[in-house]
Amino acid sequence: DVIYFNPVLPSACVGPISFRDHRKIMICDEVGFCGGMNITEDVGEEKFGISNFYDVHARLEGPCVADLADVFRDSLHESGSPVS
């Protein structure tokens, strides 16, 4: 399923239009992934010049994955999703 967090359409908003969630989280078995993975120099170069952006993406293992899953569940709850 795809769950949209606070869609831009006024009839579907769950909060103010500025209430956005840009978290990038994936939980797969006992491994979690989080981070950027969406900004490159190609995108930022025009406005900010070369080498002002970098991506940080992390693979997490161990007890911290449960905490990351809690953050993900919190986003689902705030989206109004029936998924729990």
pLDDT 10s digits, 25-73: 899 999 999 987 665 556 555 665 665 566 678 999 999 999 999 998 8
Provide the whole-model pTM: 0.65
Q: Which residues pair with 57 in a beta bridge?
A: 35
Rounded distance between C-alpha atoms, residue 74 and residue 3, angstroms: 13
- What is the rounded CA–CA span in Å between residue 67 and residue 14? 24
- The label of the residue with tokens 């490159």 reads 40
Q: What is the C-alpha to C-alpha distance for residues 31 and 64, in angstroms, rounded to an integer?
A: 9
* Residue among 65, 66, 72 nearest 31 (CA): 65
Q: How far apart are CA 32 and CA 14, in angstroms?
A: 27
